[in-house]
Amino acid sequence: MARKKKVEKVELPHAPAVNQPITETIEKNYMPYAMSVIVSRAIPEIDGFKPSHRKLLYTMYKMGLLNGSRTKSANIVGQTMRLNPHGDASIYETMVRLTRGNESLLHPFVDSKGSFGKQYSRDMAYAASRYTEARLDPICAELFDGIDKNAVDLVPNYDNTTTEPTLLPTTFPNVLVTPNMGIAVGMASQICSFNLGEVCDGTIALLKNPKITTDKMLDLIKAPDFAGGAMLIYDREQLKTIYVTGRGSVRLRSRYSYDKENNCIDILQIPYSTSIEVIIKKIVDLIKEGKLKEITDIRDEIGLEGFRLTIDLRRGVDPDALMAKLYKLTTLQDDFSCNFNVLIDSSPRQLGVVDILREWIRFRMNCLSRELTFDLGKKKDKLHLLKALSKILLDIDKAIKIIRETEKEADVIPNLMSGFDIDKVQAEYVAEIKLRHLNHEYLINRVKEIESLRAEIKEIEAILADEIKLKGVIAEQLKAIKKKYAKPRKTQLIFADDIIEAPKTEEIENYNCRIVLTRDGYFKKVTHQSLRGNDEHRLKDGDEIICSEDAQNIDDLFVVTDRCHTYKVKLSMFEPVKASLMGDYLPAKLDFEDGEKPILIKAINDSFKAEHHIIYIFENGKGVRIPVSAYETKSNRKKLTNAYSAASPVVAALYENETCEVLIGSDAGRGILIKSSLIPEKTTRTAGGVTLFTLKKNQKVILAANGERLEKYEGASKCRKIKIPATGNPLTIPDLADMQIGIE
């Protein structure tokens, strides 16, 4: 076996270190990238488009989709890659935003068919390009008008296989009509949309008076107009700043209607800068935090009729006051920041509305001049040819004779040139005339065009020579566009004086707690953290706990007393105490009447539902179930009188969230145990109920209990009854002085 030779490691010399300043590195490596992003990707130009928009629309134009039928979006995306080599996904995303179905633009450029998502929804995704179809919208005729007449420069595409326009010769200020946003390197652009009709009026006014004031422009272009509608809070001074500097913000708020029959608010339009998912999440979070207790449900009801977000309200809630609160706490009211950065001659400039219109007029005048120059050349060329026809009209036979007697084909043109004193181009035109056209009628009709052509040429030359006339043509085009495409404003203007401000409310700290009520009327709110250390409650001698449940500090507290009253107060008004303390004396805290005592407390939260019941048991053996919905009030009342029947003293008030067993005991030491479903339900609060317990003369009911408190009474299970009224069975009552039992 041959031995391997040992390979010696050769140390290569290191390249000498070269000191290079960081500024030089950034200038050579980073600046070209930054300028490419600014100039060729993120910032819109004076035609209102970024390169990606322009390449897509021009491709669709060359595919014949301006007047043709729809084609698959995948086909459009594939063709666009000849101009835009950044991948099909980014091209399709660009197309989606320009479609009618996406509802991002006041005037969509793509007539779409299929699912293209929605601007106002973050989660409503668009379908794949193989499923959707599209063509250009008719308004695109205004984008390409004159593009085939040298109105703009055409440059080679990235692989020199075709050409594309540097700009589109838009016949209206699309830069202000189509919203645009882009983030470049070190700068950004965010242009809001304005109403097409108002922009046309403002541009015409600027064409007539280049020194127009900002105030006058504000009268014509009143404010931004968004595809999503909503309402704009009009602040003239703030808008004036945007119109002059190109920076600032406008405040938008949602539009809504109140459905009285279903007691709900329908949000019909939201600010352009937010989405339905953001709004729903924020409202749900606020409900969980206890800051929006007026709302019972919120749901997305977007359908064929369009956008709708429905908010169900609790009974008695003022919808306008609630919306004022929602405007303050959620993006149902939101700001749209304006930053009008536009590329002018490949240089980014921040311009106000008036300056943008001035730059567009300069751009449009150049496009129109080039277009008219193109037409002028074509008409002069045609006039030049028709002059040759006027000469041969004098002697058609001579022209025919020259052609017939010429032996060689190559000599036809020179012979015609010398025979009629015309140039080579004219001779070529005469030679190509069909034999059927060599009649007096055809030739005379063609010669008649000479005068109309001369008039048209004279008119075009006059327009090109006079800037005022050139502006007049632009103004007439704008008037025609306004008449054909203008739509009423979608965004309604409102003034600050018309706004209802939300009432200022203190932030309530939320935490879990245990609420406790004793028979003698003492109330405690104990935090769960405090209960971990000691859960043994301190009570007065002879007192006991009759109600206890978990709650949150943001809940309301529902209290029933023995004087046919109910109270509703904020649980947060009670200070948390330790279990080892007596707590608050509820009659003093809530200003009860003399001798009035609480018999039931219940936290108002998700477990407190309208379909649940409160069971009242009276001394005369009668009982009744009253639905919780009977205690709902239109106003936020603290005290409600006539909460139940006063025909007989009340013994107990029990909360029923589901069917349970209720024990009723008399002062004769007898009792009955019945299902709560046997107790009749009455919708009238003051209903006296029906007899449950058959009592002998001078006997009365002294206790009622359900839930865990049944364990206190021996022999309760032997008192079970299936019908009412019923006579009692013997029952061991630990303390006959216990005249009031509640629910734990």
Burial of 312 (0-12, 13-18, 19+ CB in 10 A): middle
Residue 329, by phi and psi: left (phi above 0), alpha (psi -120 to 50) or beta? alpha
Quick one: tokens of 321? 């006051």
Residue in the block written with tokens 């630990």: 734
Three-state secondary structure readout of 525-576: EEEHHHHHHCCCCCCCCCCCEEEEEEEECCCEEEEEECCCCEEEEEHHHCCC
199 neighbors 106 (Cβ within 8 angstroms):
no
* Rounded alpha-carbon distances, angstroms, from residue 265 to 294, 316, 541: 12, 13, 53
Identify the CA nearest to 560 among candidates 650, 621, 624.
650
- Reference 272, options 130, 137, 120, 122; nearest CA is 120
644 counts as catalytic: no
- What is the DSSP code string of 216-258? HHHHHS-SB--TT--EEEE-HHHHHHHHHHSEEEEEEE-EEEE
Q: How far apart (Å, rounded) are the C-alpha atoms in residues 744 and 741? A: 9
| Packed helices 353-393 and 440-465: angle between N→C axes, nearest 10 degrees | 150
Of 132, 203, 661, 152, the C-alpha closest to 477 is: 203
Residue 375 is encoded by which pair of tokens?
Answer: 């037409």
Our separate counts of H helices and E strands in the chain read 20, 33
Q: What share of the chain is helix, strand, coil (3-state, %, to 5)?
A: 35, 25, 40
Question: Cα separation of 352 and 211, whole Å?
Answer: 14
Q: Hey, what amino acid is at 737?
A: A
* Residue given tokens 């300043």 in the structure block: 21
Give the up-direction half-sphere exposure of residue 39: CA atoms within 13 A in the CB hemisphere: 11
Report whether 47 contacts 363 (CB < 8 A).
yes
Q: How far, in Å, CA of 183 to CA of 37, rounded?
A: 9
CA dist 338 and 181 (Å) reads 10
Count of alpha carbons within 13 angstroms of residue 287, beta-carbon side:
18
CB of 686 closer than 8 Å to CB of 644: yes
Interior/surface letters 697-709, b for 16+ CB within 10 angstroms, e for the rest? eebbbbbbbbbeb
**CA-wise closest residue to 201 among 191, 212, 190, 192:** 212
Q: Which of 33, 131, 158, 511 is catalytic?
A: 131
Q: How many CB atoms lie within 10 A of CB 603?
A: 18
H or E element that contains 126: none
**Peptide bond connecting 725 to the previous residue in cis, omega within 30 degrees of 0:** yes
DSSP one-letter string for 451-498: HHHHHHHHHHHHHHH-HHHHHHHHHHHHHHHHHHH----SSEEEEGGG
Give the catalytic positions in this structure: 131
